[in-house]
Amino acid sequence: MDGSVPELWWIPIGVGACVAFYFFFWRPLRLASQEARFAEARRYFHIQREHLEARFVTLAAEKARPHGPHWDDCEFEDDVAYVRDRSTGELSAFVGVAVATDEPPSSTGGMGDLIGNLRAGTAIFRFHRGHWETDGGAILNLSPTEAIRFYQNRLEMVGQEFAGQS
């Protein structure tokens, strides 16, 4: 060794090139890929929606039986809010529902009462491994917008469709 300092000028240039590659190529490609997957998921949701809603009603009614009132009917809103779980990246669709139960109206006028025995809520559908599914889970007493706001630390809205829009 001759005691000279090795030439390390190439290290910052290499790091700079990697950072530039990430911001100018990789990140935009990843975002475009996410947008394409979201568009495909939305299309699948519309194709499967009728079946998903029927499955939701069946499963939700089964869940409610041992613990609460029997579900007589469930009406779905046309609007859909799409959210992504911030930690897992899982995509979900939230749809507003009005659930009619055999439970008598609350004398205290509880939050979930709209008219008589109707309760407002949000039906949850999840996009898992390329297809939509539901376990009959619902967030009662909160509209989709209210549910997203309530869980804002965990969920981020990635899209919203209003009635008549596709």
Q: Is the whole model's pTM more than 0.85, yes or no?
A: no
Please name which of 161, 44, 166 lies closest in space to residue 94, comparing C-alpha atoms: 161
What's the number of domains the chain is made of? 1
User: What type of residue sits at position 78?
Assistant: D
Q: Which domain does 22 fall in, by range?
A: 10-161
CB 99 within 8 A of CB 117: no
Q: Does residue 4 belong to any structural domain of this protein?
A: no
Q: Does residue 5 belong to any structural domain of this protein?
A: no
Q: Does residue 57 belong to any structural domain of this protein?
A: yes
Token pair for 59: 């499963």
Residues 6 or more apart whose CB falls under 8 angstroms from that of 62 comprise 136
Q: Does residue 3 belong to any structural domain of this protein?
A: no
d(CA 137, CA 158): 20
pLDDT digits (tens, 9 = 90+) for 33-56: 778 889 999 999 999 999 999 999
What is the β-pairing status of strands 131-133 and 138-140? unpaired
User: What type of residue sits at position 103?
Assistant: E
Token pair for 141: 């007493």
pLDDT digits (tens, 9 = 90+) for 80-119: 999 999 999 899 999 999 988 777 655 444 444 445 578 8
Token pair for 77: 């809103």
Question: Higher pLDDT residue, 160 or 27?
Answer: 160
d(CA 152, CA 99): 25
d(CA 133, CA 58): 13
- The yes-or-no verdict on residue 15 having pLDDT over 80 is no
Q: Does residue 70 belong to any structural domain of this protein?
A: yes
Lowest mean pLDDT among 23-37, 56-70, 129-143: 23-37
Q: Does residue 1 belong to any structural domain of this protein?
A: no
The label of the residue with tokens 């949850």 reads 124
